[in-house]
């Protein structure tokens, strides 16, 4: 996983609430067995017209937001399905940071696993950042993860919260499976106790 | 010890270790796997040279991608076939128990798990699918995870989590005529909203929930995710124990008695703290359906479509108007009487034998309206066989419904069962997002009985008029 330390980039505003994971990547594109290559289908129904050509009204089809690396939306971003194809599609498009007043839980988790930083900020702040985003390439936002601030084009710093463990994994680009396997002794102890305390718990074997 | 909730008890019982920042390593009792969200996880294990830690606590099934037509034919869509064949290679390589496409036990993972006794009360259960919340009906902590987490569970049999907050939704009283678990759940989502449960695990309680059979409780917990919750739960009780008893993989004899003794300790303690509590009266809930493209846009079948002009928040107003345009509805129109093109009875929400019986009761002796395509897709091969033993297939076929093979089907538009642009569907599934059932498709979520009523009248109909 690529590290996330600081990011200075063009931000795109999608002023909608409840942007669901079907909207981010429709199910018919989930037939892949790869993590990459989904960027061209990100926001498919919004991005393309029924004849397959680009919808010129959609922000990610316009300059300079074709190169946006930050997305700002309203509440409950990523609701719906658990598909990690949603953050994969965003990442493949080039998005490294998503900012919203609230996120659906599974999508929020899935972002971290892919080096995308999801930031929760109040609706009023998101409105201000959307205003910045609409100014385009003259108004890049800077996300400074070590200091936990978003820096607006006018230099104002907006602080944000993040769990210490998740921050550490992002800053180092660490695979959390490796981290958990460092706790192998605890897992083995737990399993020994499980076998004793819940001997009724069936395991599954097919003939 | 302080009074604890059902969620607190299952959580505490599965914490392997808590890290300094409050993140816990949580042990997972069951990992359910399907073809769509697992290939990248298996590949990750292979690339890292890791083993799947406990294949005997893992079960795989194919459901999302499978056609629900004649199974004797090979799968036409190459990408779907590849995903299924990839799963078959992976389960073989990693030794995972697997229900193949041609097994009578095959079906939707959230139907198969409880049906087989693979999912049991008090367990932690995960699957790379958000509707894993379904299994919470048994009184297990069950939630959907992403593919990176699927790989994490495969490698470690644990997951990294912070504890959720506790929420309790009580539904008290006796539901009226024509009201089933689906109507109750749609009413709950309409009440608390699609982000109403974010960060929480919802325990469903109250006399109306206690009175539901296991299929009804599964319908409720299934859509906990549509209320934004991490999971849904119903405390295990005699209804639960009777359901679990004698399931193929459930404990038997003395082991079953030991299990029940443990399961009985799990109910929330008197005085346990809930961060949020909501109470609804069952008598206030009528046959309910959605009008828009979010599961919270619900109304009673007797209602009219809401008017964006009544909204003060500009963003909400614009979103409502967009939904009306997408759905081809007008503000203020009566929802009843709206013509439908397709009726879909199935999905992990409503494809169990009890659901099919409710639909059959309405379909019996009637005919599907001219021009309507009506499909019945049982949740598993076993549900299908049982329905055939009860003669439900004859009722549906005589009425002009299609009687199909088990799978996710038209719930999600990734197999051949899809809406075409502009088609309006009365659907027993769980999501009405734009394009969910196929690009441009228009979805109204409703109960199996309401779906059957729409099929035979050709329009959205108050099922009580057909009783």
Report the complex ipTM. Answer: 0.95
Place of tokens 């995972």: B96
Tokens linked to A47: 């991005």
**Helix (H/G/I), strand (E/B), else coil: B458:** coil
Rounded distance between C-alpha atoms, residue B202 and residue B433, angstroms:
23
Q: Let me know: does A20 contact A79? Beta carbons within 8 Å.
A: yes
Q: Let me know: does A161 contact B136? Beta carbons within 8 Å.
A: no
Tokens linked to A68: 């946006």
Position B1 confidence tier, pLDDT thresholds 50, 70, 90: confident
Angle between helices B353-363 and B214-222 (to 10 degrees): 100
Q: Which CATH class is domain B291-465?
A: alpha beta
Residue numbers of A between 81 and 120 with CB closer than 8 Å to B: 81-84, 87, 102-106, 109-110, 113-114
Residue numbers of B between 289 and 328 with CB closer than 8 Å to A: 294, 315-316, 319
Find the mean pLDDT for residues A24-31. Answer: 95
* DSSP state letter for B44: H
Check whether A15 has a pLDDT greater than 90. yes
| HSE toward the beta carbon, residue A82, CA cutoff 13 A | 26
For position A137, what pLDDT does the model report? 77
**pLDDT tens per residue across span B381-411:** 999 999 999 999 999 999 999 999 999 999 9
Residue B445's DSSP bridge partners are B427
Check whether A206 has a pLDDT greater than 90. no
In a domain, A194, yes or no: no
Which of A177-191, B62-76, B265-279, B436-450 has the lowest average pLDDT?
Answer: B62-76
- Overall number of domains in chain A: 1
Tokens linked to B354: 């009890």
Q: Let me know: does A27 contact B83? Beta carbons within 8 Å.
A: no
- Structural domain including A64 reads 6-175
Rounded distance between C-alpha atoms, residue B219 and residue B377, angstroms:
16
Q: Closest partner residue to A177 among B86, B155, B412, by Cβ?
A: B155
Contacts of B98 in chain A (CB under 8 A): 206
Q: Which stretches of B373-454 are assigned E, i.e. beta strand?
A: 373-376, 402-403, 424-427, 442-445
Position A69 confidence tier, pLDDT thresholds 50, 70, 90: very high
Q: How far is B199 from chain A (nearest CA, A)?
A: 7
Tokens linked to A8: 């200075």
Q: Let me know: does A45 contact A104? Beta carbons within 8 Å.
A: no
Question: What's the angle, vertex CA B261, arms to CA B258 and CA B264, rounded to 5?
Answer: 150
CATH code 3.90.1300.10 for B1-286: no
Which of A46-55, A137-146, B355-364 has the lowest average pLDDT?
Answer: A137-146
For position B381, what pLDDT does the model report? 98
Q: How far is B42 from chain A (nearest CA, A)?
A: 10
For position B315, what pLDDT does the model report? 86
Test the B interface: residue of A31, A48, A87, A196 with most B CBs within 10 Å: A31
Contact B249 A15 (CB under 8 A): no
Angle between helices B214-222 and B109-116 (to 10 degrees): 140
* DSSP state letter for B109: H
Q: How many CB atoms lie within 10 A of CB B137?
A: 34
Contacts of B57 in chain A (CB under 8 A): 203-204
In a domain, A196, yes or no: no
Residue A203, chain B, CB below 8 Å: the answer is yes
Test the B interface: residue of A162, A165, A177 with most B CBs within 10 Å: A177
Q: Let me know: does A41 contact A68? Beta carbons within 8 Å.
A: no
Contact A80 B433 (CB under 8 A): yes
For position A143, what pLDDT does the model report? 98
Question: What's the angle, vertex CA B69, arms to CA B64 and CA B70, rounded to 5?
Answer: 125
**pLDDT tens per residue across span B313-353:** 988 999 999 999 999 999 999 999 999 999 999 999 999 99
Cα diameter, chain B: 64
Could you tell me the residue ranges of all domains in chain B?
A: 1-286, 291-465
Question: What's the angle, vertex CA A16, arms to CA A14 and CA A20, rounded to 5?
Answer: 100
Contacts of A50 in chain B (CB under 8 A): 421, 439-440
Rounded distance between C-alpha atoms, residue B18 and residue B148, angstroms:
20
Residue B35, chain A, CB below 8 Å: the answer is no
For position B204, what pLDDT does the model report? 98
**pLDDT tens per residue across span B83-105:** 999 999 999 999 999 999 999 99
Contact A106 B130 (CB under 8 A): yes
Q: How far is A1 from chain B (nearest CA, A)?
A: 11
Rounded distance between C-alpha atoms, residue A111 and residue A126, angstroms:
19
In a domain, A150, yes or no: yes
**Helix (H/G/I), strand (E/B), else coil: A20:** strand
Which of B19-23, B56-60, B307-311, B367-371 has the lowest average pLDDT?
Answer: B19-23
In a domain, A73, yes or no: yes
For position B188, what pLDDT does the model report? 98
B221 marked among binding-site residues = no
- Cα R_g (chain B), whole angstroms: 21
Residue numbers of B between 170 and 209 with CB closer than 8 Å to A: 194-195, 198-199
Q: Let me know: does B379 contact B61? Beta carbons within 8 Å.
A: no
Residue pairs between chains A and B whose CB atoms are closer than 8 Å: 198
The per-residue pLDDT of chain A, averaged, comes to 96
CATH number of the domain enclosing A49: 3.20.19.10
Question: What's the angle, vertex CA B207, arms to CA B203 and CA B213, rounded to 5?
Answer: 80
Rounded distance between C-alpha atoms, residue B263 and residue B403, angstroms:
38
Position B467 confidence tier, pLDDT thresholds 50, 70, 90: confident
Check whether A207 has a pLDDT greater than 80. no
For position A195, what pLDDT does the model report? 95
For position B72, what pLDDT does the model report? 86
Phi, psi of B84 (to 5 degrees): -70, -45
**pLDDT tens per residue across span B135-189:** 999 999 999 999 999 999 999 999 999 999 999 999 999 999 999 999 999 999 9
Exposure string of B50-75, with b = 16+ CB inside 10 Å and e = fewer, is bebbbbebbbbbbbbbbbbbebeeeb
């Amino acid at each position: 996983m690529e590290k996330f330390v600081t990011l200075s980039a063009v931000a795109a505003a999608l002023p909608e609430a409840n942007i669901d994971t079907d909207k981010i990547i429709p199910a018919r594109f989930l037939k892949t067995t790869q993590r990459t290559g989904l960027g061209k289908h990100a926001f498919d129904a919004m991005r393309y017209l029924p004849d397959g050509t680009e919808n010129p009204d959609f922000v990610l089809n316009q300059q300079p937001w074709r190169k946006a690396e930050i997305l700002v939306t309203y509440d409950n971003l990523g609701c719906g399905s658990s598909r990690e194809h949603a953050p994969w599609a965003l990442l493949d498009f080039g998005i490294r940071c998503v900012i919203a007043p609230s996120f659906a839980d599974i999508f929020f988790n899935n972002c971290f696993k892919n080096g995308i930083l999801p930031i929760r900020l109040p609706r009023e702040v998101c409105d201000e950042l959307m205003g910045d985003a609409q100014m385009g390439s003259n108004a890049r936002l800077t996300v400074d993860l070590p200091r936990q601030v978003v820096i607006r084009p006018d230099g104002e710093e907006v602080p944000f919260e993040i769990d210490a463990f998740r921050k550490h994994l992002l800053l180092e680009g660490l695979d959390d499976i490796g981290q958990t396997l460092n706790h192998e002794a605890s897992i083995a102890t737990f399993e020994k106790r499980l076998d004793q305390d819940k001997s009724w718990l069936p395991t599954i074997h097919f003939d | 010890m302080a009074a604890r909730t059902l969620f607190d008890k299952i959580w505490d019982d599965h914490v392997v270790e808590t890290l300094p920042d409050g993140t816990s390593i949580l042990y997972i009792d069951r990992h359910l796997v399907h073809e769509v969200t697992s290939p990248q996880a298996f590949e990750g294990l292979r690339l890292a040279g890791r083993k799947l830690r406990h294949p005997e606590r893992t079960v795989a099934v194919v459901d999302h991608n499978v056609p629900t037509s004649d199974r004797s034919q090979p799968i036409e869509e190459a990408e779907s076939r590849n995903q299924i064949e990839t799963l078959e290679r992976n389960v073989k390589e990693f030794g995972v128990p697997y229900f193949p496409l041609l097994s009578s036990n095959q079906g939707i993972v959230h139907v198969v798990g409880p049906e087989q006794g693979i999912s049991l009360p008090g367990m932690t259960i995960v699957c790379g699918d958000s509707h894993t919340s379904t299994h919470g009906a048994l009184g297990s902590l069950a939630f959907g995870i992403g593919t990176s987490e699927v790989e994490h569970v495969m490698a470690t049999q644990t997951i990294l989590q912070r504890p959720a907050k506790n929420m309790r939704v009580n539904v008290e009283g006796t539901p009226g005529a024509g009201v089933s678990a689906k109507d109750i759940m749609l009413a709950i989502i309409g009440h608390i909203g699609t982000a109403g449960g974010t960060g929480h695990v919802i325990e469903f309680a109250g006399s109306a929930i206690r009175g539901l059979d296991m299929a009804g409780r599964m319908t409720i917990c299934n859509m906990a995710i549509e209320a934004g919750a991490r999971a849904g739960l119903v405390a295990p009780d005699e209804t639960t124990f009777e359901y679990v008893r004698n399931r193929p993989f459930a404990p038997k004899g003395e082991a079953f008695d030991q299990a029940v003794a443990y399961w009985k300790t799990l109910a929330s303690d008197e005085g346990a703290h809930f961060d949020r509590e909501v109470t609804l009266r069952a008598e206030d809930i009528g046959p309910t359906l959605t009008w828009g493209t979010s599961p919270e846009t619900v109304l009673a079948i007797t209602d009219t479509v809401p008017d964006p002009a009544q909204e003060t928040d500009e963003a909400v107003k614009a979103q409502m108007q967009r939904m009306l345009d997408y759905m081809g509805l007008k503000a203020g129109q009566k929802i009843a009487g709206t013509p439908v093109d397709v009726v879909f009875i199935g999905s992990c929400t409503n494809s169990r034998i009890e659901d099919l019986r409710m639909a059959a009761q309405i379909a019996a002796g009637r005919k599907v309206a001219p021009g309507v395509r009506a499909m019945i897709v049982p949740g598993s091969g076993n549900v299908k066989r049982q329905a055939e033993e009860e003669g439900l297939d004859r009722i549906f076929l005589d009425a002009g419904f299609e009687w199909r093979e088990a799978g996710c089907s038209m719930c999600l538009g990734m197999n051949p069962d899809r809406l075409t642009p502009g088609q309006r569907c009365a659907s027993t599934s769980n999501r009405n997002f734009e394009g969910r059932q196929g690009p441009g498709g228009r979805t109204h979520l409703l109960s199996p009985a309401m779906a059957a009523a729409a099929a035979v009248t050709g329009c959205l109909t108050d099922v009580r008029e057909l009783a």
